[in-house]
Amino acid sequence: MKAPATLQATPFALVFLLFLVLPLVLVGVVSFWRASDYELIPAFTLQNYVDVFNATTARTYLSTLKFCVLVWAVTLLLGFAVAYFLAFHVKSVGAQTLLFILCTVPFWTSNVIRMISWVPLLGRNGLVNQGLQALNIIDSPIEWLLFSDFSVVLAFVHLYTMFMIVPIFNSMMRIDRALIEAARDGGATGWQTVWNVVVPLSRTGIVIGSIFVITIVMGDFVTIGVMGGQQIASVGKIIQVQTSYLQFPMAAANAVILLAVTLMMIWGLTRLVDIRKEL
Amino acid sequence: MNDHPDSNAAPKLARRTLLKGAAAAGGALAFPFVHAQEKITLRYLGTAVNQDKAIAEKFKADTGIEIQYIPVTTDDVTKRAVTAPNSFDLIDTEYFSLKKILPTGNLLGIDTKRIKNADKITPLFTKGEVGGKKVGDQGTAPKKVMYVASPTAKDFAKEPTQFMTLIPTVYNADTLGIRPDLIKRPIESWKELLNPEFKGKTAILNIPSIGIMDAAMVVEAMGIYKYPDKGNMTKKEIDLTIKTLIEAKKAGQFRALWKDFNESVNLMASGEVVIQSMWSPAVTAVRTKGIACTFQPLKEGYRAWAAGFGVPKTVSGKKADAVYEFINWFLDGWAGAYLNRQGYYSAVLETAKAKMEAYEWAYWMEGKAATQDIKSPNGDLLAKAGSVRDGGSYETRMGGIACWNAIMDENAYMVQKWNEFVAA
């Protein structure tokens, strides 16, 4: 006998309820509480939200959004290009698999080690600066290579382009090759084919990849911390500092706002493509 | 129990034999019944810096009790003590965290009658004195939070009592670390941290409660303001301190802020930074890479910190006995000597001295030139014969304490302002 669909979905629904919905509700509840140095006091106060809205938070959100846009744009371009190459120019499945594994190589070491290893490369006495100086291209080391907006974006791109490549590649592999041939037969140039055929048909992958990248960047504080020399603020960092000083209600209020902002961005993206229909 | 003649031979014996021997020795041991039990494991919550594998191994060899380390960050130690007191049997935390932990009632006052060397704990903790002289007590000086009236008390006793909040494990005094090879001139004051000469080559610690005190040392050294208590600033004082930091940051003074021990080592060793807030073992770590680095004594003094063992209210019976046994063992000399050789200081100096070579004691504690090469506990060369320890003797260094790591009454406001500094 076949169990009804609702029954089949129950176990997973319970997992979600227990580990996603319940914690989120708790975060929401705690965001209205008060706290002393050592205890949480159940209450209903909007003070946490009032405190969150200040110039620092606004500046921090702007800075996080800036990274979001920059990283999204770069990973999209790179990810699309790599996925395009893998999907249309590499013919054999074996070679595709091999190249895919190559793309995952950066993930074989820990996130933090990967980030720290940028220091000897980009630092004041790093490989890049020494190389440029040896070639007499620059006289004194370039300071903005490390602990700057540039290095933060670089690290993000290095880390998260993969999240763009995979879904876009997946969408591209489902494109009927006959459509491309038809475009060519119809006299479209290479660029026209890409723009008018491949891009629209890969948009599901693009949107999914974008959701990955945007949510990760919005919540990240480790990369921004390490690559920004801890001198660049991020919303995640503020939340982390507040939790480590046991200011859970403030942290919860911040988390609720961050969640709302991120959800709005995702909602906006899903308005562009109905992911459920396309999958 | 280390006084027992068998204890030196203990590591060579199988545990079973040791247990038999220990059981036979019976009355000579403080807590013989602990040994009769099969396998007690103590969950030791603390920061990784203090959790040395060699200490756990030696303790197990001596007593058969297993230590299971739970390494987390300083902030997380406090967080767990407040939110999850039954997730550990022994806590190793900093004294300044007590202001948050004690009011929760999660810690039990430690009965000093059960601590053999309690009366030998350095007067720095009990009276705030080094060599008979008072040292700076701004911030959470241990003597302010050392005692409670009863084991279950939730506030601190003003006068010494039978019950201690924490039994000190390690402590030290922090100052600025510098790269003498890149600075090439003497550094004598905290104000050099914000000296435009080092623009883009300095770093400060990004742990708000400690970073702000380093900043306060700088503000005082620059002659901008004299704090009544750097460890407990008013909102106005916090504003002033953060304003100074923000101005420096906007002018590009800092290359980076650091939060993790290894980050500070990395910044210094790579030459990204030439002067920064630093911890003593980090300076040692830079030096073992063969790079010149000095833990620079400064005329305004040091910012001191101290950590100690606390007993959570959730342990009882044999586990509680084992906790007491560990604390007693810790103060008995072997661990103290081990810590002293790492450049920290131990709580009971007398017992540690007995376990150190005379030349080691002279170098680490008396500030004398090393008569032979000084090695770390695991055999790395730390200083060549003839060199002298930065900051000199115990009395010179610890006597130069200006303030202690602290939690301010305006902590929440301070954290908020610190976030502004980071975002500026």
pLDDT band of residue A140 (cuts 50, 70, 90) is confident
- C-beta atoms of B249 and A246 within 8 A: no
How, if at all, do strands B66-71 and B41-46 pair? Answer: parallel
B423 and A CB contact within 8 Å: yes
Q: What is the reported pLDDT for B1?
A: 35
- From the candidate CATH numbers 3.40.50.1100, 3.30.360.10, 3.40.190.10, 3.40.630.70, the one assigned to the domain spanning B5-165+304-331: 3.40.190.10
- C-beta atoms of B206 and A146 within 8 A: no
B422 and A CB contact within 8 Å: yes
B124 has a pLDDT exceeding 90: yes
Average pLDDT over residues B139-152: 93
DSSP alpha helix (H) spans, B233-304:
235-250, 261-269, 280-288
Nearest CA in chain B to A126: B270
Angle at alpha carbon of residue A276, lines to A275 and A279, rounded to 5°: 80
- C-beta atoms of B422 and A237 within 8 A: yes
Regarding the domain delimited by A53-278, which CATH topology (the fold level of the hierarchy) does it fall under? Answer: MetI-like fold (1.10.3720)
B243 and A CB contact within 8 Å: no
Q: Which residues of B touch A60 (CB under 8 A)?
A: 419, 423
pLDDT tens for B21-59 read 444 444 444 444 545 556 889 999 998 777 889 999 999
Pick from B271, B407, B411: CB nearest A124: B271
Interface predicted TM-score (ipTM): 0.78
Q: What is the reported pLDDT for A124?
A: 85
pLDDT band of residue A35 (cuts 50, 70, 90) is confident
B269 and A CB contact within 8 Å: no
Mean pLDDT, chain B, rounded, equals 88
B198 has a pLDDT exceeding 70: yes
pLDDT tens for B294-318 read 999 999 999 999 999 999 999 988 9
B181 has a pLDDT exceeding 80: yes
Query: Ramachandran region of residue A187, left (φ > 0), alpha (ψ -120 to 50) or beta?
Result: left
A238 and B CB contact within 8 Å: yes
CA B114 – CA B320 distance, rounded (Å): 11
CATH superfamily of the domain spanning B178-301+400-423: Periplasmic binding protein-like II (3.40.190.10)
CA B272 – CA B291 distance, rounded (Å): 13
- In which residue are the tokens 């480590």 written? A244
% of chain B at pLDDT higher than 90? 69
B265 has a pLDDT exceeding 70: yes
Question: Taking the domains of chain B in order of start, what are their residue ranges?
Answer: 5-165+304-331, 178-301+400-423
Nearest-neighbour CA in chain B from A35: distance (Å): 10
User: Which of 172-201 (B) contact A at CB < 8 A?
Assistant: 200
Residue to substitute from A224, A227, A244, interface B, most B β-carbons within 10 A? A244
Query: Ramachandran region of residue B201, left (φ > 0), alpha (ψ -120 to 50) or beta?
Result: alpha
Task: Find the length of chain A.
Answer: 279
Lowest-confidence region among B72-81, B206-215, B266-275 = B72-81
- C-beta atoms of A231 and B256 within 8 A: yes
Residue to substitute from B272, B289, B408, B417, interface A, most A β-carbons within 10 A? B272
pLDDT band of residue B204 (cuts 50, 70, 90) is very high
Question: Taking the domains of chain A in order of start, what are their residue ranges?
Answer: 53-278
Lowest-confidence region among A116-120, B186-190, B211-215 = A116-120
> What is the three-class DSSP state of B348?
coil
A143 has a pLDDT exceeding 50: yes
Of the two residues B184 and A40, the one the predictor is more confident about is: B184
Domain B5-165+304-331 and domain B178-301+400-423 have a common topology: yes
Q: What is the reported pLDDT for A279?
A: 63
User: Which of 13-32 (A) contact B at CB < 8 A?
Assistant: none
Q: Which residues of B touch A230 (CB under 8 A)?
A: 206, 256-259, 422
Nearest CA in chain A to B200: A143
pTM tops 0.95, yes or no: no
A107 has a pLDDT exceeding 90: no
pLDDT band of residue B66 (cuts 50, 70, 90) is very high
Query: Of B374, B324, B382, B267, which is closest to residue B117 (Cα–Cα)?
Result: B324
Nearest-neighbour CA in chain A from B406: distance (Å): 13
